[in-house]
Structure 1
Amino acid sequence: MKNTFLFVALLVLSVSALAQNNEKQQDSTKTEALDEVLVKAVRVNATSPITHSNVSKKELAKRNLGQDIPVLLNYLPSVVTTTDAGAGVGYTGIRVRGINAQSTNVTINGIPYNDAESLGTFWVNLGDFASSVESLQLQRGVGTSTNGSGAFGASINVLTDAVSSESNGEISNAFGSYNTRKHTVKFSTGLINDHIEIAGRLSNITSDGYIDRAETDLKSYFLQGSYVDDNTLIKAITFGGKEVTYQAWNGIDAETLEDNRTFNPSGAYTDADGNPQFYDNEVDNYNQDHYQLHWNQRYNNRWSTNLGLNYTYGRGYFEQYKEDEDFADYDLTPIEIGDETVSTTDLIRRRWLDNDFYVINASANYKNNEVNLFFGTSYSIYDGDHFGEIIWAEFASDSEIRDRYYEGNGKKSDWSLFTKATYRINDKVSLYGDLQLRLVGYETSGLTSDRLPFNVDENYSFFNPKAGITYKVNSNNSLYFSYARANREPNRSDFENNATVKPEQLNDFELGWRHNTQKFRLNVNGYYMLYNEQLVLTGQIDTTGDPVRANSGDSYRLGLEVDAAVALTDKFSVQPNFTISSNKNKETFESVNGELLDLGKTDISFSPEFIAANALVFQPREGFQMSLLSKYVGEQFMGNTENPDSKLESYFINDFNITYEWQPKSIFKSVIFSGLVNNIFNEKYVSNGYFGSFDFEDSDSPTGISTGYFAGFYPQATTNFLVGVTLKF
């Protein structure tokens, strides 16, 4: 409640102070430009030597029927997406160039969104956030310097809704397979007295999921108050949500995948009569609230500044039913019942996170006909508590209500200084330079969830230079080359799995050609990403379903990306893209049957050599569009040893999307009908999984040890659909 009052106070104070200014006639083009200042410091423009894709609100809206943002980005170059529940709602993930989400930097209005400790991005905490996105930019490779954790394969820069000069409202409802439902209400007052706007959104998304019991209930909100004049934009924004998601992160083995691909082992236990049961509340339950204040000021045609403040409050738990747990693992004392000593029990536990995240961003921009210069700083502090509770036990021993069987804390500070500039030498050549100093401190105390002491005290100093050149051949063609250096710290799980884990380094080389005419657009980009101690996915997962990573020594990613858009006629267009790549660990060792083997050069996990997508778009008239969307992902390994049992087979899926906008003469400004059929050819495919090994004693083995392997798979939904109606007024 106190945070709500803080937000309202900031909004009132900001508006009251600036309302004293002389009233001026509002210029909508200037308002739009001021909105974009929120992300100018972390975005690049069309002529920059940085590989990127832009996605507008209009493009997101066509398929925004309840699925998460990673799924909506599935058809961009080099992108592979996955979802635990199988149908794009709930826990979803995105990989770019084979690099996992923990290495993708995400900012919202320039504010870091990645979790400071895990470095992951949990879109499930922001249900229906796509409905409040004005635009986003996906940069591939290191990209430009940004705020928060370093980008090691991609960065996603999100800009939320722009100020609307006119009042409007919107009611949107969608329904689909697996009892999926999306309900959204939006409003904007428009500019009151040409200066003040209040806008907001409420949403609820529910789904049973393709996987058994993988239910999702996402409640979310977005509220902003804005003050604008010709040269000033102040926004006070709050957004967040509550998610309750039945766990589906355990995956299934190969045999179950063949016989019962929707089976979910989460929550399984055996009752007193020996009958298999499933605990009904094996859920992830989390709340996250964000409070942002942005002040953008334009002083003249050359100088502008941006100040951003953020507070994020996250808290929640995941709940599990556990059988035959040892008392010692929960700091419980064995008890005597009659003549029997009891030292195990069935129980229900909750593992909690309770964290606060503070950010301040400040940047300035100077530009003239030759130079566009940015310089700025970002400072953040994270303070997170980790603890576990037993909420029920068959034998409670000497425990008390709300006892914590483990407690730990993590603190992280992140300070970044950067300056970046584009210098136009002449009409054909421009130079780009970017320097960043990043100072990171991470400290932990207490116990892990396995009740092991966990004490980390690390400080890192990273210098990340970047440079590039763009050559404009003519009005339709340009060439670019860039080099970028990036460094990145390990996350909390990396330290838990290996106390001596090292930070990773990357040298990224990008060479591209852009061709752009009215009816034909072509982007060709070659990249060479050279890593030292890259933290790659081992294929295994931890007890919370998070992927386990390890340093891989020297490795590289070499690839070619091509994306195009061709207007074949006034009504028909195609938008293909593909990526061909080689992703290698230069030297890999594995312990097999008690012997250390040198496997030489191996494929990096979760890095397919070929990814392709295409959109066939038919627009017979204004407001009516049909699209056939296709995606191919080549085979990939879930580990780094090229073990055949760790292979995910290639898959080719197709979706069909249709939108129709009707503009009645009264009541509503427009009525938009949308439909989406996913996986229209009923492909049974798997987009994600895990793989690991274990050693066991074997008297028949020459070394007395044999190695076994295990694999888990996350099957994705077969043919399914979503339909929706949006009323705008």
Structure 2
Amino acid sequence: MKILLTALAALTIGMGNTFAQEQDTTLRQLPEATVSVGYLADGQSPFTFQDISREALMNKNVGQEPSFLLSETPSITVYSDAGSYQGYSYYRMRGIDQTRINMTLDGVPLNEPEDQGVYFSNYPDFLNSVSNIQVQRGVGTSKNGTSSYAGSLQFTSPSLRDSSATTVGTGYGSYNTYRAFAEYKSGLHNNMGLYLRGSHLHSDGYRDNAANTSSSVFYSGGIFLPKSILKLTGFAGNQQNEMAWLGVSEEMIAENPKASANTDQEDDNFTQSLTQLQFTHFLNSNATLNASVFYNYLEGNYDFDLNNFLGLPSTDELYNYAFRSNFVGMFANYQYETDRLDWTSGIQANSYSRRHTGSEKTLGQLYQNVGYKREFSAFSKVAYTAGKAVLYADLQYRYTDFDYTQPLVDFSLLSWQFLNPKVGITYHLSEASDLYYSIGRTGREPTRNDMFAGSDELPIDEQNNPVLSSTDAEYVTDHELGWRYNSPKVSASVNAYWMDFENEMVLNGQFGPNGLALNSNVEKSYRTGLEVSWQYQPIRQLTLINNSSYNYSRITQQETTFSPILTPKVIVNQEVVYRYNKFETALSFRYQSASYMDFANEATLKDYTLLNWRANYQFNHLKLSLMVNNLTNTRYFNNGYIDYDGSRKLFVQAPANWYMMVTYSF
């Protein structure tokens, strides 16, 4: 850390000296999100991305897990343990799971470093306090934290420049689902701004043993000086879930569609909090320095009925896995802009530890171990405008290591180094139209679960030597070719991608001793496809929105070629929105084609079609909203696996359901 601070100080002094002669007294108004701007894509970038605005989020957000709103963008699939919209949900991008998707809030890594996942269930009502989401598909720009292997999600915190307002809201819907929240925005007064939000949510869930009760707070405060911004942002959440992460056989679903394979004695309880201090300083009219420190804390546990998992009658035997983690880090970037040049360089470092404790209800504590992970990365990227072309280059160096302490085990530190280059070009065909191409490469280290073969404690041999499963990194080379068009009535983007993998880790259909899904390396694999987004407004009141994708992916292993699991070829999202004065209504359609559940490509999840409707009316300070999902009462499955006995296990999702909400602002 001392070396990093020395390097940062030298970088700052050098920049100050380099550009001191360019200082002027007329500075542009300081934007708020400059800390994360260096990691985002824009219209000049040769990458595939899509922004989801605050307005779009608020029209659809009712406290549901973010995964469901993300599924309205191309190449995203989603499923929920509970079958409904609260509790644990998961998404995949281009068929790749979310542990391979980088996620940040204002540049702060959200992925848990050991297993590289994000559980939005720990951040209840998170979208209520997000001003923008940028979805990057493919390698994209350099980010902080875990690798952008399949893509990335960049969340932006609330703007403190918004007008002063207080908003309260409450809602109720199917499966005893309810939500209440209160939000306060001070606006900017005396160069200071404040944002506060508190929420409480509950749902019984559609499936049995799938209830969720959760609460959260989100806060942000800032001081805006003539040349600097100091901003403190954070949130804390607690969730208590019943467990419904096991699939159910088709026979059980036929008898009771709400059936759960988990038992009613399996529960979990997790608390997580994040605090970030951001500093932004304009060195002059062209140069900006951003720095941030953060701390993320997690504590919780979940129950596991091993007998039930193995298909045996449940007894009083009940295992519990408990975790406590500390995640602290810093990052800084320097940005220099002129009419033709945009150059950003940055560094990031973090340190992480997680204590794992395994116990059994009658036997007490069985073991305790601690995993440690450190990371350092540095990047430099430049975009240069030459006539109608914007040339782009981005180079990131990333180092990460993993250590482990367990009694009687002599563990040797594991480390990985990655050099991640990206180059591309954006060509302006006209005022409204751009063509882009990029090629990028990135690598990703295995998760703890991959290395430990699904065990919470590292397996050892008879001589107490560690038995590691896979420690090899995986790599992807990503080609993105696209076209973007924007006019007053029409906006559109079309892109083709080719992702060529080395040593890719893919689901193998097996499960570890604590029930977690296992992955295996494959010799060769690629994913390719076409993604389309467009929006058309033929008249002022009517808007048509489409987000669709086609995917063709193959894996080669031991001279056998097959398709990856849980990767549908076709996804279509079509929405029709009608607005008249203060009334808005929308009808949305989703089609998802069949996908395979096993490497043999014999068991499939059937295709399905969903039809959802929503409406809201703004009456002065009062807003009324109603949503009805799955209008046609379709029984569908969007996740499944082949169990150890060869049977199909499925996750049924909710039939027709509704939710009504009232919000009042003053």
TM-score calculated relative to the size of structure 1: 0.83
Task: Give the match for residue 70 of structure 1.
Answer: 67
User: Of residues 292, 299, 306 in structure 2, which corresponds to 1:315?
Assistant: 299
Establish whether residue 588 from structure 1 lines up as the match of residue 557 from structure 2.
yes
Task: Give the match for residue 287 of structure 2.
Answer: 303
Query: Identity rate of aligned residues, in percent?
Result: 28
Task: Give the match for residue 431 of structure 1.
Answer: 391
Task: Give the match for residue 459 of structure 1.
Answer: 415
In 1, distance between residues paired with 2:591 and 2:238?
Answer: 34
| Deviation of the 1:262 alpha carbon | 1.0
CA spacing shift, 1:345–1:283, aligned 2, 3 Å:
closer
Task: Give the match for residue 563 of structure 2.
Answer: 603
CA spacing shift, 1:641–1:588, aligned 2, 3 Å:
farther
Uncovered stretches (5+) of structure 1, i.e. residues with no partner: 1-26, 268-277, 327-343, 397-402, 590-597, 664-669, 694-707
| Deviation of the 1:154 alpha carbon | 1.4
1:471-509 residue CA offsets vs partner (Å, 9 max, x unmatched): 101112110000000100000110011623421100000
CA spacing shift, 1:383–1:230, aligned 2, 3 Å:
same
1:545-590 residue CA offsets vs partner (Å, 9 max, x unmatched): 54321111210011111111111222112111221121100x235x
| Deviation of the 1:29 alpha carbon | 8.3
User: Of residues 619, 630, 655 in structure 2, which corresponds to 1:718?
Assistant: 655
In 2, distance between residues paired with 1:239 and 1:324?
Answer: 36
Q: After alignment, is 120-129 or 612-621 more displaced?
A: 612-621
Task: Give the match for residue 175 of structure 1.
Answer: 172
In 1, distance between residues paired with 2:513 and 2:179?
Answer: 31
User: Of residues 275, 278, 281 in structure 2, which corresponds to 1:294?
Assistant: 278
CA spacing shift, 1:714–1:324, aligned 2, 3 Å:
closer
The 5-angstrom pairing of residues 333-482 of structure 1 reads: 346-390=316-360, 392-393=361-362, 403-426=364-387, 428-446=388-406, 455=411, 457-482=413-438
The 5-angstrom pairing of residues 674-689 of structure 1 reads: 674-689=625-640
1:315-337 residue CA offsets vs partner (Å, 9 max, x unmatched): 110024566999xxxxxxxxxxx
Uncovered stretches (5+) of structure 2, i.e. residues with no partner: 1-25, 454-467
1:623-650 residue CA offsets vs partner (Å, 9 max, x unmatched): 32111111111111122221x23x1111
In 2, distance between residues paired with 1:322 and 1:493?
Answer: 18
CA spacing shift, 1:129–1:564, aligned 2, 3 Å:
same
Establish whether residue 519 from structure 1 lines up as the match of residue 497 from structure 2.
no
Letter in structure 2 aligned against 1:285: N
User: Of residues 603, 610, 614 in structure 2, which corresponds to 1:653?
Assistant: 610
1:574-616 residue CA offsets vs partner (Å, 9 max, x unmatched): 111221121100x235xxxxxxxx5x21001111111111111
Establish whether residue 486 from structure 1 lines up as the match of residue 442 from structure 2.
yes
CA spacing shift, 1:454–1:682, aligned 2, 3 Å:
farther
Letter in structure 2 aligned against 1:409: V
1:641-662 residue CA offsets vs partner (Å, 9 max, x unmatched): 21x23x1111111111112111
- Which secondary structure does the structure 1 equivalent of 2:142 belong to? coil
In 2, distance between residues paired with 1:632 and 1:437?
Answer: 40
1:645-681 residue CA offsets vs partner (Å, 9 max, x unmatched): 3x11111111111121111xxxxxx211111111111
In 1, distance between residues paired with 2:154 and 2:89?
Answer: 18
In 1, distance between residues paired with 2:106 and 2:511?
Answer: 32
In 2, distance between residues paired with 1:540 and 1:658?
Answer: 43
CA spacing shift, 1:570–1:188, aligned 2, 3 Å:
closer
Please tell me whether Structure 1 or Structure 2 has the larger radius of gyration of its CA atoms. 1
Establish whether residue 199 from structure 1 lines up as the match of residue 199 from structure 2.
no
The 5-angstrom pairing of residues 44-443 of structure 1 reads: 44-164=41-161, 166-193=163-190, 195-267=191-263, 278-279=264-265, 282-321=266-305, 346-390=316-360, 392-393=361-362, 403-426=364-387, 428-443=388-403
Letter in structure 1 aligned against 2:231: K
| Deviation of the 1:538 alpha carbon | 1.9
Task: Give the match for residue 4 of structure 2.
Answer: none
TM-score calculated relative to the size of structure 2: 0.90
| Deviation of the 1:544 alpha carbon | 5.0
CA spacing shift, 1:482–1:209, aligned 2, 3 Å:
same
CA spacing shift, 1:584–1:321, aligned 2, 3 Å:
closer
Letter in structure 1 aligned against 2:619: W
| Deviation of the 1:710 alpha carbon | 3.1
Conservation of the 8 A alpha-carbon contact between 1:82 and 1:88: no
- Which secondary structure does the structure 2 equivalent of 1:566 belong to? strand
Task: Give the match for residue 625 of structure 1.
Answer: 584
Task: Give the match for residue 30 of structure 1.
Answer: 29
1:664-712 residue CA offsets vs partner (Å, 9 max, x unmatched): xxxxxx211111111111111111122255xxxxxxxxxxxxxx51332
1:73-110 residue CA offsets vs partner (Å, 9 max, x unmatched): 22111111111101110101111111111111000110
| Deviation of the 1:36 alpha carbon | 2.1
Conservation of the 8 A alpha-carbon contact between 2:160 and 2:221: no
Task: Give the match for residue 527 of structure 2.
Answer: 557
| Deviation of the 1:345 alpha carbon | 7.4
CA spacing shift, 1:482–1:191, aligned 2, 3 Å:
same
- Which secondary structure does the structure 2 equivalent of 1:147 belong to? coil
In 2, distance between residues paired with 1:258 and 1:685?
Answer: 12
Conservation of the 8 A alpha-carbon contact between 2:528 and 2:552: yes
- Which secondary structure does the structure 2 equivalent of 1:433 belong to? strand
Letter in structure 1 aligned against 2:623: I
CA spacing shift, 1:523–1:170, aligned 2, 3 Å:
same
- Which secondary structure does the structure 2 equivalent of 1:226 belong to? strand
Conservation of the 8 A alpha-carbon contact between 2:450 and 2:470: no
In 1, distance between residues paired with 2:412 and 2:157?
Answer: 36
In 1, distance between residues paired with 2:51 and 2:371?
Answer: 35
Task: Give the match for residue 15 of structure 2.
Answer: none
CA spacing shift, 1:436–1:323, aligned 2, 3 Å:
closer
1:1-36 residue CA offsets vs partner (Å, 9 max, x unmatched): xxxxxxxxxxxxxxxxxxxxxxxxxx99825x2x12
In 2, distance between residues paired with 1:362 and 1:322?
Answer: 46
Conservation of the 8 A alpha-carbon contact between 2:445 and 2:471: no
CA spacing shift, 1:546–1:123, aligned 2, 3 Å:
farther
| Deviation of the 1:222 alpha carbon | 0.8
| Deviation of the 1:171 alpha carbon | 0.2
| Deviation of the 1:429 alpha carbon | 0.6
- Which secondary structure does the structure 2 equivalent of 1:347 belong to? coil
In 1, distance between residues paired with 2:43 and 2:583?
Answer: 29
Letter in structure 1 aligned against 2:270: Y
In 2, distance between residues paired with 1:177 and 1:263?
Answer: 17
Letter in structure 1 aligned against 2:574: N
Conservation of the 8 A alpha-carbon contact between 1:538 and 1:691: no
Conservation of the 8 A alpha-carbon contact between 1:226 and 1:236: yes
In 2, distance between residues paired with 1:430 and 1:354?
Answer: 46
CA spacing shift, 1:522–1:454, aligned 2, 3 Å:
farther
CA spacing shift, 1:540–1:58, aligned 2, 3 Å:
farther
- Which secondary structure does the structure 2 equivalent of 1:493 belong to? helix
CA spacing shift, 1:641–1:470, aligned 2, 3 Å:
same
- Which secondary structure does the structure 2 equivalent of 1:709 belong to? coil
In 2, distance between residues paired with 1:88 and 1:73?
Answer: 13
